[in-house]
Amino acid sequence: MNAYHPLFNTSEAKGIKDWICEVGRRVYNKGFAAANDGNISYRIGDNEVLCSPTMICKGFMTPEDICMVDLDGNQLAGKKKRTSEILLHLTIMKERPDVRAVVHCHPPHATAFAVAREAIPQCVLPEIEVFMGEVPLAPYETPGGQHFADTVKPFLKATNTIILTNHGTVSFGKNLEEAYWKTEILDAYCKILILAKQIGGITYLNEGQSRELLDLKQRLGFDDPRFHMENCDLCGNSAFREGYKAANAPEPKTVAFDPPPSFPGYLSPPSTSGASNNEALIQAITDQVLAALQGK
C-alpha cells in the first residue's frame, strides 16, 4: 500500500518518522523487543497517526517503513502494512487526548511481573514515587483486537504506564521520548526489585518519607491519583482497585512484594515459612533414620 495523504510527507512527519525509528533502535538495543516484537506510534493530526509496520525488527526500521492510520485503524498511507496491535495505541489516544505518543514492547523485568501477575510495589524508590507512581496490571486478553485494547481503559486516567498481563508493557505521553523513558524507568525498577528480593527483601519507606515525596511531586507539578483520594493507602496500590472492578478482573497478587501492612513498619517482616518447612523436613528425615536404626 502506498496511498497519498497530505500529512504523510510533511517536514513534521519526516521528523516524527525519524523519532519512531530512533525509539525502535533504543527498544531493540535495550532488549525490550526481540525480533519483530513491539510497536510505536505518534498522533500527528486530529485523525492521523504514524506507526511502525507489522513484521519488522524495531532496531532496523527506516523512515520509509513507517505507516499512517486513522483513529479507527484504517491505513491511510505507507508501503508496508500497519502494526497488528495499533488498536491498543488508538484506544489510549482516544481516551486520553493529551497523549500523542505510545510505546508498546516486552521489557524482560517488567514482563516478568506481568507473567507472575505480581503487583508493582510503591514506597520503595524516591524516583519512582515522583516520576512514575502506581503501575497497574491490565487483565489478560488475546493481543491484537479491540477486546485487548479495551483492557487498559479503566486505568488510563491514573497513569501513563501499564503492564499488560502475560504480555508486556505500554507507556505513553506527550512525545515519543517521554513515552519511551517510562518504559526504561519501569524495567529498571523491576530489575532492582527482583535483585533486592534475591538478596533478602524489600525495604519500604515509612509514611512520613512517602508523604514528603508526594509533597515534592506536587510542588514539581506532577499529578498523582493519591492527591485526589481521601484516606488512601499510600503503598497499597489502592488507586487502581476501582479500575480492576471496572475491568471485571481480579486484582494482581501481592505475595512476593507485598507492602508492609501498616506504617511505620519500614521493613517487611522476613518470611518464616521456608524455615518452618526446612525444620519439618529435617525432623521427618530424622524420624525415618531413627526408625530404620531401631528396626535393625
> Which active-site residues does the annotation give?
85
Placement of cell 514515587 in the chain: 129
Q: Give start and end residues of each alpha helix (H) in 167-257.
A: 176-199, 207-219, 241-246
25, HSE (Cβ side, Cα atoms, 13 Å) = 9
**How many C-beta neighbours within 10 Å does residue 135 have?**
27
Residue-by-residue DSSP string for 120-189: PP-SS-HHHHHHT----EEPP--TTSHHHHHTTGGGTTS-SEEEETTTEEEEEESSHHHHHHHHHHHHHH
Query: Cell triple for residue 17?
Result: 518518522
CA dist., res. 153 & res. 95, Å (int): 7
CA dist., res. 250 & res. 137, Å (int): 10
Query: Cell triple for residue 296?
Result: 535393625
157, HSE (Cβ side, Cα atoms, 13 Å) = 9
- Residue 62's alpha-carbon distances to 102, 178, 266, 287, in angstroms, are 18, 21, 49, 69
